[in-house]
Chain A
């Protein structure tokens, strides 16, 4: 069953067409990768799906529901949560506070609630959930550290943790492995698999690190100039000549020839 269905989605910036009438279907429970050269429109695509960027055309359906143009806080409440390409955590807060902020949706604090009711403080259920995610992302040791002091790799995990706190049905990760070394990205791959297997969330992943993408994804879509260049299983993609030409790179010798032309 398809969980996310994007049809004919387009985004223009002035004269530039960043995403060009793109169709994309993501199956429920899949780990789906999106790759493509810099500027192919991957981040733009994410931004449109999550509602941070208006679409110039096309339609986005989530679990059968039209979500085109919904603002981000609405798409999040439907269960579509994204992370950012840059590392994004609430710098001024501690790690556990970051996770608690992620549970915002489960509470939606109101004025009266904050004064007299349940939003005065975090419930034990919230705390438990936060602690659970804390362990899940392996940051239990950093519980009360200020987020800004975490090493980059941990900040990224925290970013994913914040997203997980909102109990997503579809988790959209933008280059989560960027800046990670092999060990870290191996751990990340495990974490992402766990998210799918244990939390039951669908994962949509943008990543330049081929090892991560090829190792993790069941299906990969390749974008180029805002259009779909290829789609298929990792092995098919790795062998696709169009993909090699546009993204993975020309044959070494061919490039050498080009360099000396």
Chain B
């Protein structure tokens, strides 16, 4: 469904994504994991048009979309839940959702989507009259995901949905993502929380300083000793508490 080839992205001449290629098939959850600053967010931002690539191509169902402005790519069915959620803080919950369906001028299907989102996230229905900025982090994350669902996206792009969330909230997110997969959605998931990401993913890619260094099925990566050392910290920390100087 989505294919990325030799993507290179830079900020003021510093390359942060250094030629990565990967693909996502319909109905899959694909995770990108990697350390802070590995270039995960940058990759996603390039996919959805918030950032221009230096070179490389992005194909959505065979159509090249690199270089299109973000609002055009949104029109093609990519919904991006950005890092930090990006909800509109001074708008109410329904208004936020309405913006998610901005490109959908059909009132009836908009209503239907709204109903579906409210059913999936009952907490949003309860917060209907609240300004989005005053909701808790987890609720905001639900709103952001709900907003992304409003446009019936072909591909859902999630950047660190667990960021800043308590473990309980994280579990809630995991529940939602599992449900979405069950409903047949295609999802790219970027997570700092590698354990969670690998568990959810059908397939996963490991990014290190702008390059893909490992790829495979989520479960397999979870057991990969290198991954355990580098990204799941815990394993080695527990086994070797005081590393020598």
Q: B-contacting residues of A (Cβ < 8 Å)?
A: 37-39, 148-149, 151-152, 175, 178-182, 190, 193, 208-211, 213-215, 225, 234-235, 238-239, 245-246, 248-250, 252, 255-256, 258-261
Of A39, A245, A259, which is within 8 A of B174 by CB? A259
Contact A182 B164 (CB under 8 A): no
Q: Which residues of A contact B245 (CB under 8 A)?
A: 190, 193
Is B116 part of the contact surface with A, judged by Cβ < 8 Å? Answer: no
Known contacts being A39-B137, A249-B195, is A179 close to B38, with CB within 8 Å? yes
Contact B242 A151 (CB under 8 A): no
Q: Which residues of A contact B229 (CB under 8 A)?
A: 182, 211
Contact B175 A214 (CB under 8 A): no
Tell me the complex Cα distance, A179–B209, Å.
8
Contact B243 A249 (CB under 8 A): no
Nearest Cβ on chain A to B127's Cβ, whole angstroms? 15
Nearest Cβ on chain B to A257's Cβ, whole angstroms? 10
User: Residue of A at shortest CB range from B226?
Assistant: A182
Q: List 25 A-B contacts (CB under 8 A).
A: A38-B164, A38-B165, A39-B137, A149-B14, A178-B36, A181-B209, A181-B230, A209-B35, A210-B233, A211-B229, A211-B233, A214-B241, A234-B242, A235-B241, A235-B242, A238-B234, A246-B167, A255-B195, A255-B196, A255-B199, A256-B199, A259-B174, A259-B175, A259-B200, A261-B171
Is B236 part of the contact surface with A, judged by Cβ < 8 Å? Answer: yes
Contact B35 A214 (CB under 8 A): no
Hey, what's the 0/1 contact readout for B161-172 against A, CB within 8 Å counting as 1? 001111100010
Of B36, B178, B195, B230, which is within 8 A of A252 by CB? B195
Is B238 part of the contact surface with A, judged by Cβ < 8 Å? Answer: yes
User: Residue of A at shortest CB range from B163?
Assistant: A38
Q: Which residues of A contact B171 (CB under 8 A)?
A: 255, 258-259, 261
Contact A148 B233 (CB under 8 A): no
Tell me the complex Cα distance, A233–B44, Å.
39
9 cross-chain pairs, A with B, having the tightest CB-CB distances, nearest first: A179-B37, A210-B233, A215-B243, A178-B36, A39-B164, A210-B237, A235-B241, A214-B237, A258-B171
Contact B163 A234 (CB under 8 A): no
User: Residue of B at shortest CB range from A215?
Assistant: B243
Is B12 part of the contact surface with A, judged by Cβ < 8 Å? Answer: yes
Is B159 part of the contact surface with A, judged by Cβ < 8 Å? Answer: no
Q: Which residues of B contact A213 (CB under 8 A)?
A: 237
Q: Which residues of A contact B37 (CB under 8 A)?
A: 152, 178-179
Q: Which residues of B contact A181 (CB under 8 A)?
A: 35, 208-209, 230
User: Residue of A at shortest CB range from B13?
Assistant: A149
Contact B12 A148 (CB under 8 A): yes
Q: Which residues of B contact A250 (CB under 8 A)?
A: 167
Hey, what's the 0/1 contact readout for B185-199 against A, CB within 8 Å counting as 1? 000000000011001
Tell me the complex Cα distance, A175–B37, Å.
12
User: Residue of A at shortest CB range from B36?
Assistant: A178
User: Residue of A at shortest CB range from B245?
Assistant: A193
Known contacts being A178-B37, A210-B233, is A260 close to B195, with CB within 8 Å? no
Known contacts being A151-B14, A210-B234, is A37 close to B166, with CB within 8 Å? yes
Nearest Cβ on chain A to B192's Cβ, whole angstroms? 8
Q: Which residues of A contact B36 (CB under 8 A)?
A: 175, 178-179, 208
Of B174, B208, B243, which is within 8 A of A214 by CB? B243
Tell me the complex Cα distance, A190–B237, Å.
18
Q: Which residues of B contact A193 (CB under 8 A)?
A: 245
Tell me the complex Cα distance, A148–B38, Å.
18
Restricting to B96-137, which residues have a CB under 8 Å from any CB of A?
Answer: 137
Nearest Cβ on chain B to A16's Cβ, whole angstroms? 9
Q: Which residues of B contact A249 (CB under 8 A)?
A: 167, 195, 234
Chain B CB within 10 A, most for which of A152, A181, A211, A260: A211
